[in-house]
Amino acid sequence: MKYFAFFVLILACQAFGQDGGDVFQKYEARASRAVDRGFEYLLGVEQPDGTFPESHGRSTGISSLVGMGFLAKGHLPGQGRYGDAINRRIDYALEHTNAKGLIDCGDHGNGPMYAHNISTLFLSEVSGMVDARRQAGIDVALSKAVQVILRAQAVKKPEEHQGGWRYQPDSRDSDLSCSGWALMALRSARLNGAPVPPQAIKDAVGYTLRRLERKIGHFGYMDQYQHKDSLTGAGLLCLELCGQHATPENLLAGEWILANHEALPRCEFEFYGNYYNAQGMFQLGGKYWKTYADWMYPHYLEEQAPDGSWLGERFGKVYGTTMMILAFTVPARQLPIYQRDERTDEAK
C-alpha cells in the first residue's frame, strides 16, 4: 500500500507538472477546418424529415449527437450558419418525446435508453440558449426525461448492477456505456437546477468504480475487462465530471490510456473510445492531454474523407463524423458538461 500511494503521488505530480494547454495550438487551424468540413457533410446528408442516412439515422440519439457537435464549437441555436440546423435537432428530440418523458423514435437497436440518455443530455446542454417557444418545450420534456433516468436507476437490481443503467427503462442489469450517458445527463440537468438527488450521482459513481480493474487501471463494459480499449476513457470522464478529479483511480486510468491508446484504431468501437479518451484526458490535463492530443490530431486529421466525413465503425459516417467533431473540439470547452477546472494545468 505504501508503494501504491507513492506511485500515485508521482503520477499526480506528473499530471499537474506538465502543461498541456498549448498543445492544441499546433493543430487548431487544421482541426478547425476539418470540423467545419464535417459540419458541411452533416448538413449535406440530412434528410428533409430531419433524419440521417445509415445505421440508426432516425434515432434521437444520433440526431442529438449531431446537435451537440454544433454546440461544441460554439454555434448557437437560431444564430449564424448552423443556427437552424441546431434548432432542427432540438425540434426532433421534442417531437419524439412521449407522454411519459421517453425521448425515442423506435430506431434504437437494443433498447431506447441509450438514445434517451444522449437526447436528455443534449436538451439540458442547450437549455437557456433557445427562443421562448422551444424553451417552454424543453422545460416540460427535460423534467420528464430526467425522471425516466432516475426511475430506471432505481429498478431493483443485483448489487453488482446497482446504480447503473442499461437498454430498457426496466432493465435489471447495467453496463458502463449506457450508464456513462445517463450519468452525464443527470449531472448536466443538476447543474441546470433540476432536482437530481445527490444520492443518484453517488450511486452512479459507485457503479462506475465497480467497473474498474484496480491493479491495472482500465474500465470494462459489464465487468472490468470487456471493451476496455473503448471504455476506459468513459469511466475516467464520468469520475472526473462528478468531482473525482485526479484521484488515484483516475490517474491509473490515465496511465493505462497513455500506454494503450495507439492500439485504439484496431478496436471494435474505435471512434467511441477516442471521443471518451479525448474528453477524459483533457480533464486530467498535463501530460495526459498533451500526449493524447499529439497522437489524436495527426492521426485522425489524415483519416478524414474528401467529403468531410469520418467513417466510424459499423455505425456509419454520420456517427463517425459527429464523434470526431466532439473529440476535436474538446479544448473549445463550449459544452457546459465538459467544463474543466482551470487549475488542472496551473502548476509547472
What is the gyration radius of the CA atoms in the chain, in angstroms? Answer: 19
Q: In this predicted structure, what is the pLDDT of residue 5? A: 35
Phi and psi angles of residue 165, each rounded to the nearest 5 degrees, phi first: -140, 160
Whole-number Å distance between alpha carbons of 317 and 15: 35
Check if the beta carbon of residue 185 is closer than 8 Å to that of residue 124. Answer: yes
Average pLDDT over residues 281-299: 97
Q: In DSSP terms, which residues pair with 312 in a beta bridge?
A: 316
pTM: 0.91
Residue 179 pLDDT class (50, 70, 90 cuts): very high
Q: How confident is the model over 142-146, as a mean pLDDT?
A: 98
Task: Inform me whether the pLDDT recorded for 342 exceeds 80.
Answer: no
Query: Residue 340: which pLDDT band, with cuts at 50, 70 and 90?
Result: low
As beta bridge partners, residue 103 has 97
Specify the pLDDT at position 343: 41
**Contact present, 58 and 105 (Cβ < 8 Å):** yes
Render pLDDT for 208-233 as a digit per residue (tens, 0 to 9).
999 999 999 999 999 999 999 999 99
Domains of the chain as residue ranges with CATH: 56-210 (1.50.10.20)
